[in-house]
Amino acid sequence: MNCSDFTYRKSFPIPYSGCAFDSLLELKFALSIENDYRFLRSPEKIETTRVYTPDFLIRHKLTHEAWLIELKPTAYKISKNVSIYNSIATDDIKKQSLDWSFNVIFGSEIHIEPDKLNKFRMFAMRKTTFQTMFDFQKMDQKYNHRPVKIFSSVPAFNGEGMTRAEYSHWVRRGI
């Protein structure tokens, strides 16, 4: 399978905890890790011949291990692009001397607890109704020179008693 053999289906943006997820796969991943990890959505833009933005940066709350994460549908598993993402991200991590590792996670590898599964199903049933919020944000960005920022890469309800800046710094640096 090469890149042209794989086609994405239309995804719907999903709001959760102050973040905008690009797909149900991203929401499912966030729900699966939120008890044990702190995370940032679209944390880094990596400049190569094009701009590549991994989906998440996560850091374990106890071990402090950090991972830059790219999520892909299971059907993407045999694509040659997986090794390209790995090479780009790993090189960038080394160049910046970060304590992160990189991993591509496929949809079939994400498992969530029953209570989180119920939450996921609720969001999945309402996915098209969220489009109105995103349409408003796009229109506001187009016509307002100071657009309203509705979503962030930092979860709004992190339950950690940290400001967004402190939370972001901890996920990025572990301190």
Contact, 170 vs 38, CB < 8 A? yes
Q: Is 81 within the bounds of a domain?
A: yes
Question: Model pTM?
Answer: 0.83
Q: Is 102 within the bounds of a domain?
A: yes
Q: Is 88 within the bounds of a domain?
A: yes
Exposed, middle or buried by CB within 10 Å (0-12, 13-18, 19+), for 86? middle
At residue 149 the predicted structure's pLDDT band, cuts being 50, 70 and 90, is: low
Residue-level length of the chain: 175
> Distance between CA atoms of 165 and 154, rounded to whole angstroms?
9
Q: Is 2 within the bounds of a domain?
A: no
**Half-sphere exposure at residue 48, Cβ-oriented, CA atoms within 13 angstroms:** 14
91 or 81: which leads in pLDDT: 91
- Domain range enclosing 143: 12-173
Contact, 104 vs 86, CB < 8 A? yes
Mean pLDDT is lowest, of 45-54, 80-89, 96-105, 124-133, for 124-133
- The single residue listed with the structure tokens 């239309």 is 10
| pLDDT, tens digit, 9 for 90 and up, residues 1-16 | 444 454 556 667 788 8
User: Across the strands, what pairs with 70?
Assistant: 104
Q: What was the pLDDT predicted at 148?
A: 62
Total tally of structural domains belonging to the chain: 1
Mean pLDDT is lowest, of 12-16, 29-33, 88-92, 138-142, for 138-142
Q: Is 3 within the bounds of a domain?
A: no
Q: Is 120 within the bounds of a domain?
A: yes
Mean pLDDT is lowest, of 65-74, 82-91, 115-124, 132-141, for 132-141
At residue 114 the predicted structure's pLDDT band, cuts being 50, 70 and 90, is: very high
Q: What was the pLDDT predicted at 2?
A: 46
DSSP 108-122: GG----HHHHHHHHH
How many other CB atoms sit within 10 Å of the CB of residue 107?
17
Q: What was the pLDDT predicted at 48?
A: 83
Mean pLDDT is lowest, of 54-58, 120-124, 143-147, 151-155, for 143-147
Q: Is 5 within the bounds of a domain?
A: no
